[in-house]
Structure 1
Amino acid sequence: MSKLGALRDIRRFRFWGMFATHMFSCVGLIAVLFGLYDVLEPNAISKIHFPFLLAVLLLAALYAAIRSYPRPVSQAYSKPNTEIRIVEGDLFSQEDNLVIGMTTTFDSQIPHVIHPHSIQGQFLHRVYSNDVAALDIDLEQGLAQHRPIGQIEKPGKKTRYATGTVVTIQHQRKHYFCVAYGEMDEANQAHATMDGIWRSLENLWREVGARANGDPVAIPVVGGGLARLSQILPAQDSIRFIAMSFIFASRHARICDRLDIVVRPEDVERLDMLELQAFLKSLQDV
């Protein structure tokens, strides 16, 4: 976690609630120890002066600060045996296998159909060096095992596949899980629904479990931006959505050793990392 991120979280009420809890617990423990000492040495406590009491309070405050200070958000689970981390950074700089969000037409042409700065646009640029033909060949090979559900008249690709269709591409020793959670309309505007995203994640986890061999997988925050769900599924809720789906799926079958949810630096400022840490911890009891 960056220094700016830590300073942001320190300003939140949750941090000060944790700080107060740890400080009072430390003071309470010291008070109990003093009580036991008073039993062994009667009237000894009455001789303690203010500077010593101040030192006790400072020690308790230091302990509380150390325990409450924001740290990178991660949570390990024993059942299932996996881990979830929230990572600030660039998706394509991760060493993990990657999840690439796409639409049900699996369009690849930029800039008129796919925005160059979208995950799909970066995928084409940074993994395929803008070779659209090579990407289309790999997508078509993966789509050969899926049955189309219809056609749509629009610029770009016109064949539609079911929401939640997953195409796995193995490229440069990585697996790229291309999952279609959004749909294009006739004007090439991408849309998605929460139900469609949930079903897409279910299909994604099955594919990851079958193809990733347990290796870590990184996924971007889904549902916002071009999917036009940012108003009802902001980044904070999207992360919880992804994590909950992953844990539910992991209860039924092993998916991977670790899931990294990658957040763009410009989105981190809007997140409450302490709340997300508390949420990930609560999933142990799901």
Structure 2
Amino acid sequence: MSIGRDLTKRRFWAKFSTQTLASIGLFAIFTGITDALFPNFLPPIGPYFLAGIVTVAAIYGLIRAWPRPVEQSYSSPNTEIHIVEGDLFEQDGNIVIGMTNTFDTEIPHIIDERGVQAQLLTRVYRSDRKKLDNALETALESQAFEEKFTVEDRKPGKQVAYPIGTVATIEPSVRKLYFCVAYTKMNSRNEARGTIDGVWRSLNNVWDEARTRGNGDPISIAVVGGGQARISQYFPAQDSIRFIALSYMFSSRREKVSSRLNIVVEKRVADNLDMLELQAFLKSLRPS
């Protein structure tokens, strides 16, 4: 994470001021007691002593307020949440892939080639769409579909739609699962739409699937709500991260999901986040 960016945030300066003033207050108590007991000790060195107090207090305040990696450990359950600036597909452990409820994979005409869903095809399956489609079909064999598009719908791409929250778990490599979850609804014009309720339901289903099949390994997920979901106008990245973390902790308190959740943020998105506020939020999720 960019430290320079965090130093410009109001939360950093508020914490720095609070810690510095608290430190000065402590020194003031010590000075008052010293002056009462030894009235002739402080006057000769008063200006130097004051400068020293301010310097030490400022250093203490800086240390306490200095930005650190945004992460939080929890004891109940025994898990962690990390907010990571980087590449989703370079994270260790299992990965969550947000998809439409038709599980379409054709790019660029149906699926945005810049999205996570497209990167699953191009980076993990080396653009072998047939292989990815076969893996998804196998994973969905036991899932009940919601509807089928008709000839009159004239929908390009896949014709079967599954309920929001359906999870298709695929394993293109050993000990690395990809939880492909339908969190947006695709219409006949291949326009995907999502809702906050649908995202919440989808996340809960992912945590259930990870609990069952993930072997406790770390899980990584990108910020949801932008792109095809088209809900970023009232569900910005800052809120999306809090939403994901809250959903994960609620589920983990019922039964442990994994050893760690990585919420992975692209640099262009991270530049606009208040990481110190997010750290405070993660801390607030600890049991009281």
Which TM class, normalised by the smaller chain length?
over 0.9
In structure 2, how many angstroms separate the alpha carbons of the residues matched to 1:213 and 1:180? 22
- Equivalent residue number for residue 162 of structure 2: 161
| Contact 2:76–2:287, Cα closer than 8 Å, also in 1 | no
- Equivalent residue number for residue 142 of structure 1: 139
- Equivalent residue number for residue 213 of structure 1: 215
- Equivalent residue number for residue 76 of structure 1: 73
Q: Secondary structure at the match of 2:143?
A: coil
When normalised by structure 1's length, the TM-score is: 0.96
- Equivalent residue number for residue 179 of structure 1: 181
- Equivalent residue number for residue 254 of structure 1: 256
Q: 1:34 aligns with which of 31, 34, 48?
A: 31
Indicate yes or no: 2:110 matched with 1:98: no
In structure 2, how many angstroms separate the alpha carbons of the residues matched to 1:232 and 1:27? 43
Q: Secondary structure at the match of 1:107?
A: coil
In structure 1, how many angstroms separate the alpha carbons of the residues matched to 2:96 and 2:75? 24
- Equivalent residue number for residue 200 of structure 2: 198
In structure 1, how many angstroms separate the alpha carbons of the residues matched to 2:33 and 2:219? 52
Deviation, structure 1 residue 39:
4.7
- Equivalent residue number for residue 111 of structure 1: 108
Q: 2:243 aligns with which of 238, 241, 244?
A: 241
In structure 2, how many angstroms separate the alpha carbons of the residues matched to 1:64 and 1:120? 44
Superposition CA RMSD, Å: 1.3
In structure 2, how many angstroms separate the alpha carbons of the residues matched to 1:225 and 1:270? 17
Indicate yes or no: 2:126 matched with 1:129: yes
Deviates more, 1:115-124 or 1:24-33: 24-33
In structure 1, how many angstroms separate the alpha carbons of the residues matched to 2:287 and 2:254? 15
Number of residue pairs the alignment of both structures matches: 283
In structure 2, how many angstroms separate the alpha carbons of the residues matched to 1:137 and 1:51? 76
Indicate yes or no: 2:11 matched with 1:9: no
Alpha-carbon deviations, 1:254-276, whole Å to 9, x = none?
A: 10010000000110111010110
In structure 1, how many angstroms separate the alpha carbons of the residues matched to 2:42 and 2:211? 62
Unmatched segments (≥5 aa) in structure 2: none
Deviation, structure 1 residue 232:
0.6
Q: Secondary structure at the match of 2:170?
A: strand
Deviates more, 1:238-247 or 1:8-17: 8-17
In structure 2, how many angstroms separate the alpha carbons of the residues matched to 1:43 and 1:225? 70
In structure 2, how many angstroms separate the alpha carbons of the residues matched to 1:188 and 1:43? 84
Structure 2 letter corresponding to 1:231? Q
Deviation, structure 1 residue 33:
2.6
In structure 1, how many angstroms separate the alpha carbons of the residues matched to 2:78 and 2:29? 38
User: 1:45-56 alignment to 2 at 5 Å?
Assistant: 45-56=42-53
Unmatched segments (≥5 aa) in structure 1: none
In structure 2, how many angstroms separate the alpha carbons of the residues matched to 1:43 and 1:138? 83
In structure 1, how many angstroms separate the alpha carbons of the residues matched to 2:129 and 2:259? 32
Deviation, structure 1 residue 30:
1.8
In structure 2, how many angstroms separate the alpha carbons of the residues matched to 1:80 and 1:262? 21
| Contact 2:184–2:228, Cα closer than 8 Å, also in 1 | no
Alpha-carbon deviations, 1:236-267, whole Å to 9, x = none?
A: 00000000000010110110010000000110
Deviation, structure 1 residue 182:
0.4
In structure 2, how many angstroms separate the alpha carbons of the residues matched to 1:17 and 1:86? 22
Deviates more, 1:38-47 or 1:114-123: 38-47
Deviates more, 1:201-210 or 1:7-16: 7-16
Q: Secondary structure at the match of 1:116?
A: coil
| Contact 2:104–2:158, Cα closer than 8 Å, also in 1 | yes
Query: What percent identity do the matched residue pairs reach?
Result: 52
Deviation, structure 1 residue 37:
3.1
